[in-house]
């Protein structure tokens, strides 16, 4: 498994592409700024959203039980899944019950987290992702690189190539409108013929047993309304207490995500139509464990807007795939170690701790503070290489002893001055693209001792 | 008032001129400053690498050096923030708490404690201000573009008091430069790309100098500028605020 820094270095081999990726996402961040700055009550909305979510996390069990009761009373069928495996098995069994081998699916980061597509494929089910960006990465056999903009790493020419290969569009045509129309025709056939449709869930309301799915393309609705069976997969943290709270969340979600006032479609599902069925799968998959980590639990407030990715200077210059997890960027880096600390030990270090992520977060998750705290946990649990461990220990003993510190500084400066090749070589990552500082003849302390007034 | 100067370890070793400028500037403003001779480091290099548990010795040394002063002034937002957020000591927590409250980054000490209204400095150049993230988002030395809130900037306020200095506008006012402590070597590719992009922003807006409150950001940018053989120079804000007509 390659680490974030290795994958990021690969991504940076094509600097023009990095510039394009950075500019594209910065443009989204700018749109978000324009929208949020236009609302004088923006910071109040963030605070309110944060407090509602805090309340949810403190009373999650009660809200879930209430939601289950109300959703069931509405005629929907509620399933509980302890982990990804259970979730995937439930989905497969529901598909099999219908006697079909095909399913259409709108965007759901939870199913990415559960690797549902791979599981269903292995079990002979053909899954079509109906979100345009998701369809693009599915055709390219890649995971999404961004939770809101799944194929943001792809240029339109590359999408034209993919569509030519898979959908038979003319070679060399990269006109976005033309390609979108081709995708529309391609997907329409899927919508009309699939009996089972899966959607994600943005908000589930405990008070009413309803849930809300937000999309810009209407693809969740097309899938759900045309199928016999609608499966809605949701992480247990997606609960909100009351319907009125949507007034806060729907206002902040799209503004934070793409700089739109609201998603084009915010579809409310309450009960199945005559003869149809709605199944809701409530998935834990590590969330209860996360809830039990006091320093990290509030990461579960996340509403998956992706604002932290768009603003992250590292994400913009390393690409979503460099995070080697379903949810990339700053939020992914504080969620992933909870699932597998060893595998994702590199992610909390893939940050300069600049803090921009915490500032854009619409539910005020202290993302950069959690990155710092994960670093401490990861090192304490032994997920650190010996080289680094030895290095930091040596540094710590030097910096704890004034005399050793001064001697080391003096020797270091002397070596840099007289034998610069000792530091100016390919083994020094600093020197690869940067000059080393010019060593001065004396330290500040030396100067101070000579010059301070008696 | 008893004021101590706390210098980041790398400033003491590699950028003594920043310490000298800080000391001289404070003297000019009528503040007597002492430099505790046994100081080393705030402990951030270990802590940010995930080794906060190795910092107690550094912490108790810091407390020993600085506990007897009314104010501690440091020409670095990052080191100041680290002390403010993480200085603890089981055996002398009261002293640690006191220090966390009385340590100031240089520009905020000038604007908030000394209430500096004018300076005699002169620096007839076009200057771009690079805000260090820890100074800005950590210590709130200036407003952050992500928030819906009234703008202000303590370093900018001071730079505007300097004769002849023209502040250039940047396309991205508060984007990180990519230094990030050990990040600069562990994530070398992204770190350098971030630095290059910051430099491009300053260069495109005709800056002759890039200044800022943190020499660590500037050291990283300087390393790239020198490799590019650029004419643009870096200068710590203390050096500019202390500059005299040449």
- Least reliable range by pLDDT among A43-57, A181-195, A411-425: A411-425
Band (pLDDT 50/70/90 cuts) for residue B119 is very high
* Pairwise CA distance, residues A103 & A227, whole Å: 9
pLDDT at position A452 over 90: no
Question: What share of chain A in percent tops pLDDT 70?
Answer: 100
Band (pLDDT 50/70/90 cuts) for residue A453 is low
Average pLDDT, integer, range A411-419: 89
Rounded to the nearest angstrom, the minimum Cα separation between B219 and chain A is 7
Contact B46 A437 (CB under 8 A): no
* Pairwise CA distance, residues A315 & A321, whole Å: 10
What is the chain A residue with the closest CA to B172? A26
Band (pLDDT 50/70/90 cuts) for residue A419 is confident
Average pLDDT, integer, range A287-308: 97
Question: What share of chain A in percent tops pLDDT 90?
Answer: 94
Neighbours of A65 (CB within 10 A): 11
pLDDT at position A357 over 60: yes
A236 close to A282: Cβ distance less than 8 angstroms: yes
Q: Could you tell me the domains of chain B?
A: 3-113 (no CATH), 126-241 (3.40.50)
* Pairwise CA distance, residues A136 & A141, whole Å: 9
CATH superfamily of A39-285: NagB/RpiA/CoA transferase-like (3.40.50.10420)
Contact A311 B146 (CB under 8 A): yes
Band (pLDDT 50/70/90 cuts) for residue A422 is confident
Chain B residues closer than 8 Å to A412 by CB: 13
Residue A421 has a pLDDT of: 87
CB distance from A416 to chain B under 8 Å? no
Which ranges in chain A are annotated with CATH 3.40.50.10420? 39-285
Residue A319 has a pLDDT of: 97
Scanning A42-81 for CB atoms below 8 A from B yields 42-43
Q: For A358-377, how does the pLDDT look when each residue is reduced to its tens digit (9 = 90+)?
A: 999 999 999 999 999 999 99
Long-range contacts of the stretch B110-118 (C-beta < 8 A, 24+): B110/B29, B110/B154, B110/B158, B110/B241, B111/B154, B111/B157, B111/B158, B112/B154, B113/B71, B114/B29, B114/B31, B116/B29, B116/B158, B116/B161, B117/B161, B118/B161
Band (pLDDT 50/70/90 cuts) for residue A445 is very high
A277 close to A79: Cβ distance less than 8 angstroms: no
CB distance from A20 to chain B under 8 Å? no
Which of A33, A384, A442 is facing B16, going by the closest CB pair? A442
Band (pLDDT 50/70/90 cuts) for residue A197 is very high
Contact B193 A311 (CB under 8 A): no
Chain B residues closer than 8 Å to A12 by CB: 189-190, 193
Count of residues in chain A: 454
Hey, which residues does A4 pair with through a beta bridge? none
CB distance from B150 to chain A under 8 Å? no
Residue B246 has a pLDDT of: 66
* Pairwise CA distance, residues A26 & A309, whole Å: 10
Q: For B204-243, how does the pLDDT look when each residue is reduced to its tens digit (9 = 90+)?
A: 999 999 999 999 999 999 999 999 999 999 999 999 999 9
Chain A residues closer than 8 Å to B235 by CB: none
Contact A8 B187 (CB under 8 A): yes
A303 close to A249: Cβ distance less than 8 angstroms: yes
pLDDT at position A259 over 80: yes
Contact B50 A384 (CB under 8 A): yes
Best to test chain B binding among A399, A409, A428, A431 (most B CBs inside 10 Å): A399
pLDDT at position B55 over 90: yes
């Amino acid at each position: 498994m390659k680490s974030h820094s290795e994958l990021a270095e690969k991504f940076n081999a094509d600097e023009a592409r990095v510039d394009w990726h950075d500019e594209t996402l910065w443009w989204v961040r700018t749109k978000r700024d324009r929208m949020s700055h236009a609302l004088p009550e923006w910071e109040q909305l963030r605070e309110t959203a944060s407090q509602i979510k805090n309340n949810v996390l403190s009373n999650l069990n009660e809200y879930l039980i209430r939601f289950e009761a109300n959703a069931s009373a509405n005629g929907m069928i509620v399933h509980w899944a302890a982990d990804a495996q259970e979730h995937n098995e439930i989905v497969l069994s529901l598909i099999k019950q219908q006697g079909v081998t095909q399913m259409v699916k709108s965007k759901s980061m939870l199913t990415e987290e559960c690797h549902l597509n791979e599981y269903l494929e292995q079990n002979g089910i053909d899954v079509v992702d109906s979100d345009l960006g998701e369809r693009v990465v599915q055709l390219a056999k890649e995971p999404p690189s961004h939770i809101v903009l799944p194929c943001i790493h792809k240029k339109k020419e590359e999408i034209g190539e993919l569509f030519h290969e898979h959908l038979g569009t003319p070679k060399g045509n990269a006109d976005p409108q033309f390609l979108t129309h081709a995708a529309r025709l391609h997907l329409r056939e899927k919508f009309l013929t699939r009996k089972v449709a899966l959607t994600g869930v943005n908000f589930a309301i405990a008070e009413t047993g309803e849930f809300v799915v937000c999309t810009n393309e209407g693809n969740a609705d097309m899938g759900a309304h045309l199928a016999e069976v609608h499966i809605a997969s949701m992480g247990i943290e997606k609960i909100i207490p009351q319907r009125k709270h949507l007034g806060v969340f729907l206002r902040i979600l799209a503004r934070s995500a793409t700089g739109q006032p609201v998603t084009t479609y915010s579809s409310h599902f309450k009960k199945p139509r005559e003869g149809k069925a709605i199944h809701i799968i409530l998935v834990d998959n590590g969330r209860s464990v996360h809830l039990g980590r006091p320093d990290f639990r509030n990461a579960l407030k996340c509403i998956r807007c992706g604002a932290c990715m768009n603003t992250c200077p590292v994400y913009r210059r390393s690409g979503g795939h460099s995070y080697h997890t379903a949810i990339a960027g700053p939020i992914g880096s504080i969620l992933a170690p909870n699932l597998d600390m060893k595998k994702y030990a590199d992610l909390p270090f893939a940050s300069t701790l600049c803090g921009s992520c915490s500032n854009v977060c619409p539910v005020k998750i202290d993302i950069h503070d959690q990155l710092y705290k994960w670093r401490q946990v990861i090192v304490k649990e032994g997920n650190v290489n010996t080289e680094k461990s030895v290095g930091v220990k040596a540094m710590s003993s030097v910096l704890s002893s004034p005399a050793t510190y001064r001697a080391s500084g003096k020797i270091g400066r002397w070596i840099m001055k007289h034998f610069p090749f000792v530091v100016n070589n390919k083994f020094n990552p600093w020197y690869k693209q940067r000059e080393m500082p010019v060593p001065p003849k004396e330290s500040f302390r030396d100067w101070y001792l000579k010059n301070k007034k008696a | 008032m008893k004021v101590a100067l706390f210098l980041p370890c790398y400033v003491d070793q590699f950028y003594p001129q920043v310490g000298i400028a800080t000391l001289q500037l404070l003297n000019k403003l009528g503040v007597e400053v002492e430099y505790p001779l046994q100081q080393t480091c705030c402990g951030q290099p270990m802590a940010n690498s995930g080794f906060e548990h190795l910092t107690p010795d550094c912490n108790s040394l810091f407390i020993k050096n600085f506990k007897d002063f009314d104010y501690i002034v440091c020409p670095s937002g990052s080191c100041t923030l680290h002390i403010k957020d993480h200085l603890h000591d089981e055996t002398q927590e009261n002293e640690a708490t006191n220090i966390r409250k009385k340590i100031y980054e240089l520009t905020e000490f000038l604007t908030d404690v000394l209430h500096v209204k004018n300076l005699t400095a002169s620096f007839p150049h076009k200057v771009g201000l690079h805000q260090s993230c820890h100074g800005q988002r950590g210590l709130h030395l200036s407003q952050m573009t992500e928030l819906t809130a009234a703008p202000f900037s303590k370093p900018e306020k001071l730079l505007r008091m300097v004769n002849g200095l023209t502040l250039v506008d940047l396309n991205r006012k508060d984007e990180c430069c990519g230094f990030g402590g050990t990040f600069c070597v562990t994530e070398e590719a992204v770190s350098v790309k971030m630095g290059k992009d910051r430099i491009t922003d300053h260069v495109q807006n005709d800056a002759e100098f890039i200044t800022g409150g943190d020499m660590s950001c500037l050291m990283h940018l300087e390393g790239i500028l020198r490799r590019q053989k650029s004419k643009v120079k870096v200068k710590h804000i203390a050096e500019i605020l202390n500059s005299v007509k040449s």
